[in-house]
Structure 1
């Protein structure tokens, strides 16, 4: 960010630097931090200081090597999060909810702690487009009511609603990113290659569903843009321009990799051969409108479709 956007110009630089806290510093969180910290030395000197919450002592040195300040804390233990009170002016939350129940108790713990200190100026939450449930292939914008069909998505809705109430009551500027399938060639498990090598089937055209995507680097850029330019209590689709059914996506990837296209099966056959998690994604079809990230966040996607993204290095 330009130097003149940071407050307290009379203070030494180490005190006036904006502090950005990243909660959930996995692959995407680290990409966000990398973008925040990179640039000429004169920019870094006055740019944001990046704090990273981690529950892993082993991961702390890695985060430190990347220029972040690791903070030990466990989202499942509210007592370990007390040091987060008032520690940052801006927060990016990319941590997943627990893998059970209907409520995101981790988000509840973070909100409880944030209430006890000086509030951040803004907060970005990475949610999922799964909150819409099956839309029958219809075009969906951010005003569509949520209708989650899985407990995984219900936990995300719980986190969204908890944060929206918190933002409305406290004045915190909240931006929610609804994120589809994240991919990137340099992301672990980030391409369809492994699935294609296993020869797993996809649905026949009559049963196939529309699927949505975002390259991990573009997602990191969208999150940063929302942090600085997002409107308060605003929802954004962090999605690219791809309009493909799932089977066509895997066919495209197979052609790019020079691999055989996957076999096509009926939905009934897929239910007999594929694991429940994979089947759950085959039961929801929607196409996402992403005009807000362009018009409000002024994001120009580096990888507007999966073709460009899968070919990137």
Structure 2
């Protein structure tokens, strides 16, 4: 592989760029022209295009040897027309990509009642948001089988980083579920997810799905307590499910309605990865160290 196309040039893509640009010629699809300068400075070649506009995707055909598909589905509807348009564009050229890596979500499993979940578990998505991801996965896998393209899917849980922590939520005093009703959650550091996507480009076999989750295995309340303790904030109030319903948005409540513990052994065994941040504790230590370093560097010299 010599040429990589990134579709969805957000936070995870930005973290993948340093590794990618040292090894490949990297193109990055962006909607807004103003985003092009930052991508160009990071070593990528920006392409202006919109997954909601089929005509803007024509130049993607035959452009790259592999695709990193990080773009989310639309915010409404049952399917993912963006992935549909992308695959139509990729399939319209004389040459097809060798591989596609897609970042999906573990929400495709639905509520598992706190059980351990491997990649072979049937998909039981309960929210429209997750069903759109199920549609995207199915389209990608069919494309891979039909066209002989090596497709790999990374199912990511809650993505966090030093600049992606629920600090504002803690400062607002948003409650979490009482311990006896709490749900199991799973996490992955954004840097580790970016690295996993890059490794999957090289090592994942065709049609393979991976739980892209770290080793933490915390309940949701324990996660918020850990973040609060690390940043000297009050721990969130614990309330019953009935009492909490009037305090939180429907989107937040939807995350509290599903409980699962992800089995990440396949990604370690097959992709041979070592997490830079294997647990939430490791990620929080790094976040605090980063803040301390930034504070030190910002101090005026005596």
Distance 1:192 1:26 in 2: 19
Distance 1:252 1:198 in 2: 16
Match of 1:9 in 2: none
Alpha-carbon contact 1:240-1:305 (below 8 Å) kept: yes
**Number of residue-to-residue matches in the alignment:** 286
Matching residue within 160, 165, 168 for 2:137: 160
After TM superposition, the structure 1 = structure 2 runs for residues 83-98 of structure 1, keeping only pairs within 5 Å, are 83-98=59-74
Distance 1:246 1:255 in 2: 14
| 1:172 aligned onto 2:156 | no
Distance 2:251 2:222 in 1: 20
Match of 2:88 in 1: 112
| Contiguous gaps of at least 5 residues in structure 1 | 1-5, 7-17, 38-43
| Contiguous gaps of at least 5 residues in structure 2 | 291-302
**Deviation of the 1:285 alpha carbon:** 0.2
**Deviation of the 1:116 alpha carbon:** 1.0
**Deviation of the 1:192 alpha carbon:** 2.0
Match of 1:41 in 2: none
Q: CA RMSD in A?
A: 0.8
Alpha-carbon contact 1:191-1:310 (below 8 Å) kept: no
Match of 1:53 in 2: 29
Match of 1:14 in 2: none
Match of 2:228 in 1: 254
**Deviation of the 1:62 alpha carbon:** 1.1
Match of 2:200 in 1: 226
| 1:21 aligned onto 2:5 | yes
Runs (4+) of structure 1 exceeding 2 A deviation are none
Q: Secondary structure at the match of 2:181?
A: coil
Alpha-carbon contact 1:178-1:235 (below 8 Å) kept: yes
| 1:205 aligned onto 2:189 | no
Match of 1:77 in 2: 53
Per-residue displacement from partner, 1:169-221 (whole Å, max 9, x unpaired)?
11100000000010000x3xx11221111111000011100000000000011
